[in-house]
């Protein structure tokens, strides 16, 4: 196993673009390393998530990747930190220890950085890596899968205020220390990569318009597939009108507005299925607005998700607070028409009235009207579902994402030498 000192002596291929990639939790990133490897551009991969070990891989010279390092100390420290945190009584429990774990991961990975043309990291976990990469002469990218984190937190706090609940158990409840870490990453990097125009606009509002790039993501179209169609080109319809939502069941995702709209509609032979972790903050909202037609499925395993989409009539994403919601692409890939707000990234993947309907965020009336229209126009929904699948196949496969990301790398490769 090579040491970091030896790795620094590896010569870079002449006249080529090389990439060191830090892969996070985003499912669309999982094939990017393979595409870079086939293109002859990959130097090293840091495979990292806050709940797993860190693995470092690099090309083996035979068209495959080999693991060269793992960090058991990170896995042990992470499990210990989160285990202690979960066992503390709620009234004395501090905020989650995410800041500590990502800082440790960043420092461990930075010791194994090697010179490359491009370094691509994930927000909150790459500050030291960024600084090391810049010292080595790389063009540096930070990927943010959602809106600017400070705006994300502000929106979550506002949503909780609107519904009169405590925001401390929400996903966006980042500590100021972690937010400052992200601020420094955005200030340090050469480019910020976001998945939609809605996400880019949030960074423009925070003063980062000149360095923010949109790279539309993709979805596995072999895994997320529609139902088999009948002889007339129609897929089998559920016996009831089933509206599906997938994601964290929390106010920052717009669930308060969806539940209000659903209660107002009171549609016969219809059900609303909510898939995902139910946050404690939702208990009072569910008690007020949910009835027997609302089903809480809880967390589903990834292999269960295609079936969940295919058993539904419509996918609804009411969030006021997204980058590009991956669940939106998954549902469309399964041939499901969508109703989504203009703050979910839907404007980049849905033509209003063709693959689904786009409504203003936080507008209960518009959301209810869109769901009602879908309920009353089942034949049109079938056409929208086929159009949704076609849109994904034409623009949002994993290969589309990989090629868009590689094109960005190539366009930025000469930036440091040019300046």
- For a pLDDT cut of 90, what percent of the chain falls above it? 68
**How confident is the model at residue 288, as a pLDDT?**
94
Residue 159 CA to residue 146 CA, distance in Å, equals: 17
Mean pLDDT computed over 102-112: 88
Q: What is the CATH topology of the domain spanning 241-395?
A: Rossmann fold (3.40.50)
Instruction: Measure Cα distances from 86 to 96, 97, 104, 283 in Å.
Output: 9, 10, 20, 20
Asked whether residue 114 carries a pLDDT value surpassing 70, the answer given is yes
Asked whether residue 87 carries a pLDDT value surpassing 60, the answer given is yes
- Band (pLDDT 50/70/90 cuts) for residue 48 is confident
Please tell me which of 88-92, 94-98, 211-215 the model is most confident about, judged by mean pLDDT.
211-215
Asked whether residue 2 carries a pLDDT value surpassing 70, the answer given is no
- Band (pLDDT 50/70/90 cuts) for residue 95 is low
Predicted confidence (pLDDT) per residue in 210-269, tens digit: 999 999 999 999 999 998 654 444 555 667 999 999 999 999 999 999 999 999 999 999
Please tell me the least confidently modeled range out of 49-58, 291-300, 303-312, 328-337: 49-58
**Residue 307, C-beta contacts closer than 8 angstroms, at least 6 positions apart:** none
Residue 405 CA to residue 217 CA, distance in Å, equals: 9
Predicted confidence (pLDDT) per residue in 379-418, tens digit: 999 999 999 999 999 999 999 999 999 999 999 987 654 4
Q: Supply the DSSP string of 50-100, one letter for each residue.
A: TTS--EEEEE-SSSSEEEEEE-HHHHHHHHHHHHHHHHS-TTT--S-THHH
Q: Supply the DSSP string of 23-53, one letter for each residue.
A: E-S-GGGTTHHHHHHHTT-EEEEEE--TTS-
Place of tokens 């980058």: 323
Asked whether residue 196 carries a pLDDT value surpassing 60, the answer given is yes
The structure's pTM equals 0.88
- For a pLDDT cut of 70, what percent of the chain falls above it? 84
Asked whether residue 308 carries a pLDDT value surpassing 90, the answer given is yes
* Overall CATH class of domain 4-218+398-418: alpha beta
- Band (pLDDT 50/70/90 cuts) for residue 97 is low
Whether the Cβ atoms of residue 238 and residue 303 lie closer than 8 Å to each other? no
Predicted confidence (pLDDT) per residue in 317-334, tens digit: 999 989 899 999 999 999
What are the extents of the domains in the chain?
4-218+398-418, 241-395
Mean pLDDT computed over 362-371: 98
């Amino acid at each position: 196993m090579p040491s970091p000192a030896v790795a620094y002596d590896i010569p870079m291929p002449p006249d080529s673009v090389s990439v060191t990639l830090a892969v996070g939790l985003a499912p669309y990133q999982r094939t990017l390393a393979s595409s870079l490897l086939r293109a002859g551009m990959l130097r090293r991969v840091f495979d990292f998530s806050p709940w797993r070990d860190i693995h470092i891989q690099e090309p083996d010279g035979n068209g495959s990747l080999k693991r060269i390092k793992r960090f058991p100390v990170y896995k042990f420290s992470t499990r210990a930190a989160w285990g202690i945190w979960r066992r503390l009584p709620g009234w004395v429990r501090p905020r989650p220890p995410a800041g500590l774990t990502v800082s440790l991961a960043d420092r461990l990975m930075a010791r194994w950085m090697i010179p490359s043309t491009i370094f691509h990291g994930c927000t909150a976990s790459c500050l030291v890596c960024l600084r090391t990469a810049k010292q080595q002469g790389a063009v540096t990218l930070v990927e943010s899968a959602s809106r600017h984190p400070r705006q994300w937190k502000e929106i979550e706090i506002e949503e909780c205020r609107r519904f009169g609940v405590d925001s401390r158990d929400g996903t966006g409840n980042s500590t100021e220390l972690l937010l400052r870490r992200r601020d420094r990453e955005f200030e340090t990097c050469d480019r910020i990569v976001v998945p939609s125009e809605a996400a880019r606009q949030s960074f423009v509002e925070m003063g980062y318009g000149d360095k923010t790039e949109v790279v539309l993501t993709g979805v596995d179209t072999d895994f997320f597939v529609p139902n088999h169609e009948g002889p007339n080109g129609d897929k089998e319809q559920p016996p009831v009108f089933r509206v599906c939502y997938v994601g964290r069941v929390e106010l920052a995702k717009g669930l308060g507005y969806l539940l209000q709209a659903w209660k107002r509609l009171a549609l016969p032979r219809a059900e609303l299925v909510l898939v995902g972790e139910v946050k404690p903050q939702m208990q009072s909202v569910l008690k007020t607005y949910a009835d027997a037609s609302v089903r809480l499925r809880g967390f589903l395993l990834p292999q269960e998700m295609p079936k969940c989409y295919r058993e539904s009539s419509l996918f609804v994403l009411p969030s006021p607070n997204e980058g590009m919601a991956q669940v939106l692409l998954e549902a469309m890939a399964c041939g499901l028409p969508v109703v989504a707000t203009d703050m979910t990234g839907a404007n980049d993947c849905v033509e209003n009235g063709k693959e689904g309907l786009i409504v203003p965020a936080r507008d209960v009336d518009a959301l209810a009207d869109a769901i009602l229209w879908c309920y009353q126009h089942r034949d049109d929904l079938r056409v929208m579902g086929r159009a949704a699948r076609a849109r994904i196949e034409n623009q949002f496969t994993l290969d589309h994402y990989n090629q868009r990301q590689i094109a960005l790398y190539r366009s930025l490769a000469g930036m440091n030498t040019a300046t």
